[in-house]
Homo-oligomer: A and B are copies of this chain.
């Protein structure tokens, strides 16, 4: 009856939790949002790796059976440098999988944080699956603050999105990876800006799929009848977290536990 541990720098990883709840409704989930140290996306590999190690240690200490690193930046920068003791999944490999499955032309765009883009983790993961793929990445540092401000679909976010994605649109991509867990909340405006010729993919569904197969293979799936419990921890009590959690998981009375990691 041990929970699956999921962590992200902030609230965005709840998009992965929502996908896990749909795919594995019997499983319990323990979520950690490292809101005291967010954002990760502008920080260096060393710093992100240090924070990731502490978060993994916290979840292990709470007795989870497996870990999902639902933060693209931590998946891209820290996971390749760590040897976690528990079964652990990041979101970059599943995201790359989804992009390669959807793209016809092999011309794939990736939007992500500065650090994720600089790591070229998506580019490498996509080319590993399809060596002739042409991957164009662009960093969108204002998207996370815009989402946290709750400006999801207006004049400002549309202008910013057009400016960031112009090189990808010009290059004629047919698939765009939303390489940050906040970005699915901007899907309507991104779909409008990119037009119907570009398919938007995010890692949430494919990550849930990878976790389901992995847990099944390791015989770690809960045996029904189960009584799934979901618990959310944050390292700082901040206002945007609860507001955006409601957007992603639906409004509910969810006590947030404040933890020191």
Contacts and interface: CB of A to CB of B under 8 A. Distances in A.
B156 A238 contact: no
B155 A146 contact: no
Interface string A35-47: 1110000111011
A63 interface: no
Q: How large is the interface on A (under 10, 10 to 19, 20 to 34, 35 or more residues)?
A: 20 to 34
A78 to B, nearest CB: 14
Nearest to A155: B159
A134 interface: no
Interface in A132-183: 141-142, 144-146, 148-149, 151, 155-156, 159-160, 163
A55 to B, nearest CB: 15
A114 interface: yes
A46 B35 CA distance: 13
Contacts of A155: 159
A217 interface: no
5 contacts: A36-B37, A42-B239, A141-B148, A142-B151, A144-B145
Given A42-B239, A114-B239, 10 more contacts: A35-B43, A42-B148, A42-B238, A43-B236, A142-B146, A144-B145, A145-B145, A156-B160, A156-B163, A159-B159
